[in-house]
C-alpha cells in the first residue's frame, strides 16, 4: 500500500483509509461484530494504516469495535475520531451539535477508553457549532495536544473562513469532507484554501455512498435505517438520471481492466497528492477491490477527458435534505 502525508503535517497514512461508520451505523442494521473485526484486521494485512470513526457512530459502538479490532496493531495504525455532537444517552442518538470545551474534553477521555489507546492520532470537530467560537474549539484541542491526549487537530465539513480562524489558533492537519466525482462543490473554495494553508483532505464517501460502485440502480431497495432512504440523490428518479455518470466510469473501467469503484477512487487520488479517500465497506472482497485503486494511474489526458465529460453531466438531487445540509448532516 502506498503512503501519503496529510498536508504539510508529519501525519503519514496509507493512500487509502477505511471509513468504519457503516459497520455500526448509517446504512441499516449494524454488521456482525466478529465479521467487522475480520474486515478491519484484513485491512491492516492489506496495508491500510488509517481508520476513521466517531463517538456518534452507534453512538459509541463503532469506537468500541475499532478499539477491539485494532488492539494488536495500535502502534502501527492511525485512528481518527470525532467530537461535536450532543448525544441523548437514554435514546442513544445525537440531538444537535455541541463543541463546548467541557464536552470536547469529556469526549476525548471517553474515546481514549473505547479505542483502547493512550493518544488520539487525529481528533476532528465533526460539525461546526454555531454557538461556540471556533477559536475556543481549536484552543481546547490545543490544550489536549499539550496534555498528550491528542496528536493532530482536524475539522469536518467546515467553511473556508472557519478553517482559517481555527488554523490560526491551532494548526489544522486535515479537513474531512465529502469529495467524489459527483460531490465536487469543495473545489471552488475549500480545496484552494486548504492547499494554501498546507492542510490535507480526507475524502469521505469517495464512492458516492455506494452509487459509484455501479452495484445499484433505480430498483435497489435500502434497509430500514439506511440514511440513503432520505437523501434526494438516492430517489428512484435521481438514481436513474445519474446513471450517465456510471456509464462514463464504465468506459474507463473497461480501458483499465478495473471496476467503476476503482476508477472513482483513482480519480480522487489523482486530484492532489495530499488527498486520502476513506471508502467504507463491510465486505472483505470489496476492501481488496477498493485497495486495488492505488495502482491505477489515470493519465493527464484521461483526467482531461473525464473533466470534459463530467462537465456535461448534471447530477440530479442534492447530497442531503436542505435542513440536514445546513446543520448536522452526517
**How far lies 146's CA from each of 1, 74, 118, 149, 197, in Å?**
32, 21, 14, 8, 22
- Four-point Cα dihedral 134, 153, 8, 269, nearest 10: -100
- Average pLDDT over all residues of the chain: 96
Q: Is the Cβ–Cβ distance between 135 and 169 less than 8 Å?
A: yes
State mean pLDDT over 120-131: 97
Read off the C-alpha cell for 138: 481549536
Instruction: Provide CB contacts within 8 A for 226, sequence distance 6+.
Output: 26, 27, 28
Q: Enter the CATH code of domain 3-326.
A: 3.20.20.100
pLDDT of 327 reads 58
State mean pLDDT over 104-131: 98
Predicted TM-score (pTM) of this structure: 0.97
Domain boundaries defined on the chain: 3-326
**pLDDT 10s digits, 175-209:** 999 999 999 999 999 999 999 999 999 999 999 99
Residue of 57, 179, 204, 320 marked active site: 57
Q: Is the Cβ–Cβ distance between 153 and 141 less than 8 Å?
A: yes
Paired residues of 51 in beta bridges: 18, 79
Residue 297: count of CB within 10 angstroms of its CB: 10
Q: Is the Cβ–Cβ distance between 89 and 60 less than 8 Å?
A: no
Catalytic residue flag (residue 57): yes
> Is 60 exceeded by the pLDDT of residue 328?
no
Question: What share of the chain in percent tops pLDDT 70?
Answer: 98
pLDDT of 241 reads 94
Instruction: Provide CB contacts within 8 A for 111, sequence distance 6+.
Output: 55, 63, 81, 83, 120
Signed CA dihedral, 146, 151, 157, 163: sign only: positive
**Lowest mean pLDDT segment, chosen from 177-181, 306-310, 323-327:** 323-327
Strands 50-52, 18-19: parallel, antiparallel or unpaired by DSSP? parallel
pLDDT of 329 reads 38
> Is 50 exceeded by the pLDDT of residue 103?
yes
Amino acid at each position: 500500500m502506498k503512503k501519503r502525508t496529510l498536508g504539510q503535517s508529519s501525519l503519514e497514512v496509507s493512500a487509502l483509509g477505511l471509513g468504519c461508520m457503516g459497520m455500526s451505523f448509517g446504512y441499516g442494521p449494524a454488521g456482525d461484530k466478529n465479521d467487522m473485526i475480520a474486515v478491519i484486521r484484513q485491512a491492516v494485512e492489506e496495508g491500510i494504516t488509517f481508520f476513521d470513526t466517531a463517538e456518534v457512530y452507534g453512538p459509541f459502538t463503532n469506537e468500541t469495535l475499532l478499539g477491539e479490532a485494532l488492539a494488536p496493531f495500535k502502534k502501527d495504525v492511525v485512528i481518527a475520531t470525532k467530537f461535536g455532537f450532543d448525544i441523548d444517552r437514554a435514546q442513544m442518538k445525537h440531538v444537535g451539535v455541541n463543541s463546548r470545551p467541557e464536552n470536547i474534553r469529556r469526549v476525548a477521555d471517553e474515546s481514549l477508553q473505547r479505542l483502547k489507546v493512550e493518544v488520539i492520532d487525529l481528533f476532528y470537530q465533526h460539525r461546526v457549532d454555531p454557538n461556540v467560537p471556533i477559536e475556543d474549539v481549536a484552543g481546547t484541542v490545543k490544550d489536549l495536544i499539550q496534555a498528550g491526549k491528542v496528536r493532530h487537530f482536524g475539522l469536518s465539513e467546515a467553511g473556508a473562513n472557519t478553517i482559517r480562524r481555527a488554523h490560526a489558533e491551532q494548526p489544522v492537519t486535515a479537513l474531512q469532507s465529502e469529495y467524489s466525482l459527483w460531490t465536487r462543490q469543495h473545489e471552488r473554495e475549500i480545496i484552494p484554501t486548504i492547499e494554501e494553508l498546507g492542510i490535507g483532505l480526507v475524502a469521505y464517501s469517495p464512492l458516492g455512498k455506494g452509487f459509484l460502485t455501479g452495484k445499484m440502480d433505480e430498483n435497489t431497495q435500502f434497509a430500514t435505517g439506511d440514511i440513503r432512504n432520505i437523501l434526494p440523490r438516492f430517489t428512484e428518479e435521481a438514481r436513474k438520471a445519474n446513471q450517465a455518470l456510471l456509464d462514463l466510469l464504465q468506459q474507463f473501467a473497461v480501458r483499465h481492466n478495473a471496476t467503476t469503484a476503482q476508477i472513482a477512487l483513482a480519480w480522487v487520488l489523482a486530484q492532489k497528492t495530499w488527498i486520502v479517500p476513506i471508502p467504507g465497506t463491510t465486505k472483505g472482497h470489496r476492501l481488496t477491490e477498493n485497495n486495488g485503486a492505488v495502482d491505477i494511474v489515470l493519465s493527464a489526458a484521461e483526467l482531461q477527458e473525464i473533466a470534459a465529460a463530467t462537465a456535461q453531466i448534471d447530477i440530479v438531487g442534492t447530497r442531503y435534505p436542505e435542513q440536514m445540509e445546513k446543520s448536522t448532516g452526517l
